[in-house]
């Protein structure tokens, strides 16, 4: 995907960098794989606002994505490449040889009409899903499981990818987008390739209303609040606010928030950048 700069015919268009969807199919989504998304507006079950700055936005339907890729050794044809409003990556609609339809995360380079498959003995080509034990070392992968059969949990956002570095015993070493080196069971499935829509990070919305369409309300800076509302509030004139921290007092720059006894600590062999 690319982005386009628009003619500055209005203030909202002047700085906008808009996505170009030329590679996407001009079709309606598959109705059998849609689920309505009920908006919560940041409220919990008692109606109390527990997440600020959430509310409104355009009505959305959730595409039911196949993160397990557990239809083994059945060839599938890519029928469409589609936009998904509830995620940053694009999705691909697969038509399997037995008639079933499923959505998957579309990798870069996948085209309508391509044949893909998942299984132990499939070729390590873009879009194919296979265990880490069967993928050649150095391959770029995404959509990685943490537990075999549980479905992909890592490397799913637009433009992200991990690299398979080594294998030792029942574990494989992968380098995650954060730079972290982590051991993952070699029986876990991963999909070959880079997640689509890699230009997502350079899109500029251009105006506040476009952010409202996404369901995001205006965010108030802590330094603009009073001391009763935020640790960085108050002061005479335009004060800097002191050390950057959250509303509850947690330092925002460099404070370690990972649980010191987390179960996966033993699987991490190289820290994040």
> Residue 273 has what pLDDT?
72
Owner of token pair 């251009």 = 206
> Residue 1 has what pLDDT?
62
Q: How far is CA 166 from CA 44, 73, 251, in A?
A: 44, 26, 36
**Separation of alpha carbons 234 and 232, rounded Å:** 7
**Separation of alpha carbons 180 and 172, rounded Å:** 14
Q: How far is CA 218 from CA 83, 208, 269, in A?
A: 26, 8, 40
Q: Tokens at residue 6, please?
A: 């628009």
pLDDT averaged over every residue in the chain: 95
**Separation of alpha carbons 89 and 101, rounded Å:** 19
> Residue 174 has what pLDDT?
97
Question: pLDDT tens digits, residue range 166-225?
Answer: 999 999 999 999 999 999 999 999 999 999 999 999 999 999 999 999 999 999 999 999
**Separation of alpha carbons 111 and 242, rounded Å:** 51
Q: Could you tell me which residues come within 8 angstroms of residue 64 by beta carbon, excluding any fewer than 6 positions away? A: 33, 34, 35, 103
pLDDT band with cut points at 50, 70 and 90 for residue 241: confident
**Separation of alpha carbons 154 and 152, rounded Å:** 6
Question: pLDDT tens digits, residue range 4-20?
Answer: 999 999 999 999 999 99
Phi, psi dihedral angles at 228 (to 5 degrees)? -70, -20
Strand, helix or coil at 154? strand
Strand, helix or coil at 131? strand
DSSP 133: G
Question: pLDDT tens digits, residue range 17-75?
Answer: 999 999 999 999 999 999 999 999 999 999 999 999 999 999 999 999 999 999 999 99
Rg of the chain, C-alpha, whole Å: 22
> Model-level pTM?
0.91
Domain ranges of the chain: 23-201+261-270
Pairing verdict, β 76-82 and 115-116: antiparallel
| Structural contact between residues 101 and 30, judged by C-beta atoms closer than 8 angstroms | yes
Q: Buried b / exposed e across 124-140, counting CB within 10 Å, b at 16+? A: eebbbbbbbeebeeebb
> Residue 91 has what pLDDT?
97
**Separation of alpha carbons 159 and 58, rounded Å:** 24
> Residue 32 has what pLDDT?
96
CATH class of this structure's domain 23-201+261-270: mainly beta
DSSP 231: T
The candidate with the shortest Cα–Cα distance to 132, out of 114, 154, 99, 160, is 154
């Amino acid at each position: 995907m690319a982005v386009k700069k628009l003619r500055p015919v209005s203030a909202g268009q002047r700085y906008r960098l808009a996505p170009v969807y030329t590679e996407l199919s001009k079709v309606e989504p598959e109705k059998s794989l849609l689920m309505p998304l009920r908006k919560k507006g940041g409220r919990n079950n008692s109606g109390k606002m527990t997440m600020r700055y959430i509310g409104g936005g355009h009505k959305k339907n959730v595409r039911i994505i196949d993160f397990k890729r557990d239809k083994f050794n059945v060839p599938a044809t890519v029928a469409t490449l589609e936009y998904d409003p509830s995620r940053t990556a694009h999705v691909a609609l697969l038509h399997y040889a037995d008639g079933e339809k499923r959505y998957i995360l579309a990798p870069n380079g996948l085209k309508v009409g391509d044949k893909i498959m998942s299984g132990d003995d499939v070729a390590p080509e873009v879009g194919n899903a296979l265990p880490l034990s069967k993928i050649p070392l150095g391959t770029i992968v995404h959509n990685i499981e943490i537990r075999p059969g549980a479905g992909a949990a890592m490397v799913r956002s637009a433009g992200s990818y991990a690299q398979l570095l080594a294998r030792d015993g029942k574990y494989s070493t992968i380098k995650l987008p954060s730079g972290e080196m982590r051991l993952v069971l070699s029986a876990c499935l991963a999909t070959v390739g880079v997640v689509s829509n890699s230009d997502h990070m350079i899109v500029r919305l251009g105006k506040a209303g476009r952010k409202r369409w996404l369901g995001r309300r205006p965010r108030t800076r802590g330094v603009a609040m009073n001391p009763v509302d935020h640790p960085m509030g108050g002061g005479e004139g335009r004060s800097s606010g002191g050390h950057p921290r959250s509303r509850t007092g947690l330092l925002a720059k460099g404070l370690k928030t990972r649980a010191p006894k987390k179960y996966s600590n033993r699987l991490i062999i190289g820290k994040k950048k």
